[in-house]
């Protein structure tokens, strides 16, 4: 196989029957090793008694397309290059008989999963400048985010010296929606640790939802843009329910959509609206630093505060599950 051809992709799964029940278990790793280059046999010996098969499910076949990693609990994925071990990726989580608590995690979007303030600031400043006002600083806009687009527009115009209400506020909100809808992901980026945390949770079997005051259609576009839609199977936006955070109804709605009881869920957010919704609904809450809040994150009242989503695994171990009688 030439160096230009795709890597072999193998999928090592504990007690997999793919190699055939007529092959003695002690011989399966040895048989599997023969389909790989000799220099990889040490890796297989270290992983015994795991069995090995190609991702395609066809023993002895090579994969002639780019490998796609789809993590499965209790599995180890390895991509073997024809010439090098560069790019080798391992996931060696122990198999889990059932999803550990919490069964579901409800994530805020802006300031928690993604940093969307550059695109939001650009949109609101476009609206303000068109109305004859000076553009706001990005840091000032950051503090206005968290209670939906209409509240953002109200705060932005109020900071510019022109309070809005009634039809004026409705019209400027519609204009903001139009402008922002054309540039949802121009400069928006994932928050530190967001993508890896989501993949880790999904691999372990946790059910994931986005619960945000941003309109649902906008939220879905952003979630899909970053490839999170297969992990976050539920998206609850600010126009999904009759009320928004800090009212807890959005959290209860997400639990119903996920098929879990509220006591089996936890909220991860960054703002007062997030934490207050969790407190009002009786949900445990983890607050993430670096989001959109004008109150110190330690003062929000969350059960746990973390620096970034890279610390989420440890935080989950520190937040106790509700007692059965709670």
Helix (H, G, I), strand (E, B) or coil at 179: helix
Distance (Å, whole) CA 14 – CA 8: 20
Q: How many CB atoms lie within 10 A of CB 120?
A: 27
Helices (H) and strands (E) counted in the chain, each on its own, are 11, 11
Angle at 53 between CA 48 and CA 54, to 5 degrees: 140
Q: Which residue, 11, 26, 22, 14, is CA-closest to 61?
A: 11
The Cα 273–Cα 250 span in angstroms is 12
- DSSP-derived letter for residue 321 is P
Place of tokens 């809808």: 181
**CB 8 within 8 Å of CB 62:** yes
Rg (CA), the chain: 24
Asked if 108 is an active-site residue, the reply is: yes
List the catalytic residue out of 64, 93, 108, 140.
Answer: 108
Active-site residues, by number, are 108
């Amino acid at each position: 196989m030439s160096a230009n051809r795709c890597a072999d992709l193998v999928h090592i799964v504990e007690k997999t029957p793919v190699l055939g029940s007529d092959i003695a278990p002690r011989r399966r790793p040895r048989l599997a090793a023969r389909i790989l280059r000799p220099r990889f046999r040490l890796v297989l010996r270290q992983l015994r008694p795991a069995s090995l098969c190609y991702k395609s499910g066809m023993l002895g076949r090579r994969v002639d397309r780019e490998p796609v990693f789809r993590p499965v609990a209790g599995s180890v994925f390895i991509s073997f290059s024809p010439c090098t071990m560069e790019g080798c990726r391992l996931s060696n989580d122990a198999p889990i008989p059932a999803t550990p608590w919490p069964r579901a995690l409800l994530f805020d979007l802006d300031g928690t999963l993604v940093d969307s303030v550059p695109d939001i600031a650009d949109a609101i400043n476009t609206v303000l400048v068109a109305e004859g006002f000076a553009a706001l600083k990005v840091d000032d806009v950051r503090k206005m985010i968290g209670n939906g687009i209409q509240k953002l527009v109200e705060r932005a115009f109020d900071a510019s010296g022109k309070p809005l209400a009634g039809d004026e506020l409705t019209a400027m909100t519609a204009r903001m929606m139009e402008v922002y809808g054309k540039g949802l992901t121009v400069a928006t980026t994932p928050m530190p640790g967001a993508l890896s945390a989501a993949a880790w949770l999904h691999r372990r079997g946790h059910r994931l939802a986005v619960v945000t005051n941003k309109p649902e259609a906008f939220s879905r576009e952003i979630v899909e843009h970053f490839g999170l839609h297969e992990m976050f199977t539920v998206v609850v936006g600010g126009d999904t329910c009759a009320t928004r955070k800090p009212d807890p109804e959005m959290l209860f709605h997400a639990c119903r959509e996920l098929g879990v009881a509220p006591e089996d869920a936890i909220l991860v957010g960054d703002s007062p609206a997030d934490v207050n919704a969790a407190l009002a609904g009786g949900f445990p809450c983890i607050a993430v630093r670096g989001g959109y809040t004008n109150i110190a994150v330690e003062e929000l009242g969350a059960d746990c505060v973390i620096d970034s989503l890279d610390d989420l695994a440890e935080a989950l171990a520190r937040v106790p599950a509700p007692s059965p009688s709670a």
